[in-house]
Amino acid sequence: MKISSPAFAENSKIPKRYTCDGENTSPPLTVADVPEGAASLALIVDDPDAPGGNWVHWVVWRIDVGTREIKAGSLPAGAMQGVNSFGKNYYGGPCPPSGSHRYFFKLYALDRDLNLDPGATKTDLERAMKGHVVAEARTMGRYR
């Protein structure tokens, strides 16, 4: 399984548009090679370089396995969003207080749909995914 973005190459700069310095909208993402037997997809976007520890930017589940593109600033039909570290139920773009940070876009193929409350956090999603991940993919961008 693969995840990438036409907006930035692996390990390169995330364009300003997709950060708190720009439009603060989610970047476009491309999904490929979802394994047979997957029932749903989940997505976590986080920053392990944040001063207080891992900062969560986006938590999404119940993404249809047929999804091949997530358009900029949008959520796939039927998908659910959880609470990020900003305390919001939507994408919060890179906004590092200092220095260059890494932003990981992690995609998970699951063997079942997840029935989580919209107030679910990354921790809740990871707990619900435990034992149900059939494939993982990630891409990483940087912003300073």
Q: Phi and psi (nearest 5°) for 6?
A: -70, -10
Span 116-122, mean pLDDT?
Answer: 94
Query: Beta partners for 31?
Result: 3
The tally of domains found in the chain comes to 1
Predicted TM-score (pTM) of the model is 0.96
pLDDT in tens, 34-57: 999 999 999 999 999 999 899 999
Instruction: Round to whole Å and give the CA distance between 136 and 72.
Output: 22
CATH number at residue 39: 3.90.280.10
Pair 91, 69: CB distance under 8 Å: no
Q: pLDDT tens-digit profile of 57-85?
A: 999 999 999 999 999 999 999 999 999 99
- Count of C-beta atoms within a 10 Å radius of residue 13: 14
Domain hosting 117: range is 2-143
- With 0-12 CB in 10 A as exposed, 13-18 as middle and 19+ as buried, what is 20? middle
